[in-house]
Structure 1
């Protein structure tokens, strides 16, 4: 064989290798470290078996860190991710900035119209979907039925904050390391401020009046924060200012919380006997109110979106369609049982008798989601949309800064009055910088 022929054959082999390599796409997926997303990662072999030309590279992060990373990446066009786990706060804001690829052209079998209207509407602009919901949630009360019975009490289906305080006191047994109530204390616009903003709505508070003036110097916010601090200081676990969703979930599953007001998505985790020591003793109720016509519950969806500029938009869309489809729900049901499918996204799920029979929390989840209205979140009129957040770009920074003040109050570093005054000052400053007020 001559050198020239060997060279030609070698070049052909190299070229063939290059074609094979270019035919394979790697999707880098940023997601949050909660149970449903970790389960998705574990089931992804089903996707790659059907799509051997697509490889998946997972970046799994704690909630606050995820938000920082994906926001920085998309705002700077960093191009680190092909699929991002984002929420109902980011999607409409980012879509309006042309930062997200539209999810048009999804298959007929995907059935976009099956997505719950409130969730679909929050992820769309002019009827175009910009992210697909992996799961949807509101918030509700999860409580220990055995401890309530021991205290001679019964939890109403629609409790007031007074009912919550009485139950928390009755269930607390600090000698046995049982705390009557567990609530988020970790600072973050999507951590403690998700809970506190939703709670504030029920007490008649709001972030801004109709002229965008901050409202932390009003009585309603004072009532909100002092109620929260009283509950946590008297009946909550130690070190609560560091506790977010995952930390409180672990406390509840280990039997240390009498009551937990948090995301409805947690219901499948606290009732799973493989993970929860109190699985057979969990009851559910609507988030509390103060008699003013609004409940302290939120509306949220963790969604999968495609950043504009990815070099694999079609492959990313293919993955998202798989992960948020009816077939994925059926896959989870087959592997893990119907009670563990991602909730809160599809009408058909709540019409499925297998699901409603397996999930004792299904009805309360749907009622809670229907009780939250992002277009009318507060007792008094507001100029913004969003139940547990304010849908303006500045909120991510402002909400976290206010959350740090309230977390400091929970830790005893500042008084409630100081925290509220600081929240008012910093929010006024940022709203002036943003041009909302003078």
Structure 2
């Protein structure tokens, strides 16, 4: 986004009749401001940054303008999983400027030392086994680092993928929350034990940035998180162990479904906008193939927006600059927001359920999971409390009596 703001002078030169006024907000504040504005048709913004979570909910409610793209934009070049997550009934309601999945990032030097060959798509028991072998806290190396900080898009993004691959889901086809089901119990017991035995101290407060710092300092044997992290941990300017980092798919357990998440940041036009035509032009420009070429020319191929277009991954220059590119594309392509759980689910989304109630539920459950990880409550008690708050929200939302 910062780069887009810098490069937007090129857009204004090409469209002298359009002036851009940027409003930059911290992520939590951004969500509140745009949600309020769009729900009240406030018309405060003509282009909004929204997530993969909001796009289908708001598109369905008629809160967003459908995006009309021309042939040059080449909508078929968008990665299918991302395009599908931003569409309702075949209509595109937001355009991605950055997308990600999740993947395993690990120190190959440590795995080699203990004689373990990490497969392309490992299983969770294999991960636990490797974590045990490389865990060496005396020498400042922890077997595995995973998110523990509470938040629906924080610890729950990771935990939901873990639950998915253990065969669980958020809600059954009657919209009944499933937090006390066997897959949830198995997954959370596994997660808490894994981090207690082989994770860094204070894991319940760790999010992406904390773990990125630990990984770059060489303190994590493994990390499963957003694919964007691969570009940081493999950069010798940022990471002490850049040359040792290797990449594989997110681990699986009872099913590969929903094992790795799917997220994108997107630009959308609120229904309340009075400048739809100008907004459309800007979105088309900033998410186009030409824009990616402009970033490559200005900042180098290692800095282009990832996760959005097939043509980016087909570019030999990008493949050369990003050695994680193939693993990242495989991860994004394998995520299916419409079929991410073993039992059939009524919701869209891999690591979230695209319903308005999910934010409140995810926050409440995230706090319980973090407390269980910190040892302040038992796993079963945390899941029971999560189930109670989820049922309350879903009844309040009128999903069932």
Task: Specify if TM > 0.5.
Answer: yes
C-alpha contact 1:251 1:257 (8 A) present in aligned 2: yes
| Pair member with larger Rg | 1
Q: Which residue pairs with 1:223 in the alignment? A: 186
The 5 Å alignment of 1:229-268 reads 229-268=192-231
Instruction: Give 1:130 shift.
Output: 1.0
Cα-to-partner distance string for 1:50-83 (whole Å, 9 max, x where unaligned): 4454133231413x44333322332233444332
Counterpart in 1 of 2:24?
59
Aligned counterpart in structure 2 of residue 183 of structure 1, from 132, 140, 146: 146
Is residue 384 from structure 1 mapped to residue 347 from structure 2 by the alignment?
A: yes
In the aligned structure 1, how far is the partner of 2:232 from the partner of 2:44? 31
Segments of 5+ residues of structure 1 without an aligned counterpart are: 1-36
RMSD value, Cα = 2.0
Deviations 1:68-119 (A, max 9, x none): 3322332233444332221221101101222112211x34322112112221
Partner of 2:105: 142
Higher relative contact order (CA 8 A, sep 6+): 2
Residues 42 and 169 from structure 1, CA distance in 2 versus in 1: closer, same or farther, beyond 3 angstroms? farther
Matches within 5 A, 1:265-344: 265-294=228-257, 296-344=259-307
Mapped contact 1:288–1:295 kept (Cα < 8 A): no
Partner of 2:86: 123
Q: 1:169 aligns with which of 132, 136, 147?
A: 132
Could you tell me how far apart the structure 2 residues matched to 1:86 and 1:205 are?
Answer: 27
Runs of 4+ in 1 over 4 A off after TM superposition: none
SS of 1:309's equivalent?
coil
Residue aligning to 1:14: none
Q: 1:293 to 1:113 in 2, by over 3 A?
A: closer
Change beyond 3 A, Cα 1:70–1:169? farther
2:314 aligns with: 351
Cα distance in structure 1, aligned partners of 2:80 and 2:146: 29
Residue equivalent to 1:30: none
Contact kept? 1:287, 1:295, Cα under 8 Å: no
The structural deviation recorded for 1:278 is: 2.0
Taking the aligned partners of 1:361 and 1:152, their CA distance within structure 2 comes to 23
Superposition TM-score, scaled by structure 1 size: 0.86
Structure 2 gaps, min length 5 = none
For residue 293 of structure 2, give the secondary structure of its aligned residue in structure 1.
helix
Deviation at 1:139, TM superposition (A): 0.9
| Structure 1 residues 384 and 303: CA distance shift in structure 2, 3 A | same
In the comparison of the two structures, how many residue pairs are matched?
400
Q: TM-score, normalised by structure 2?
A: 0.93
Map of 1:71 onto structure 2? 35
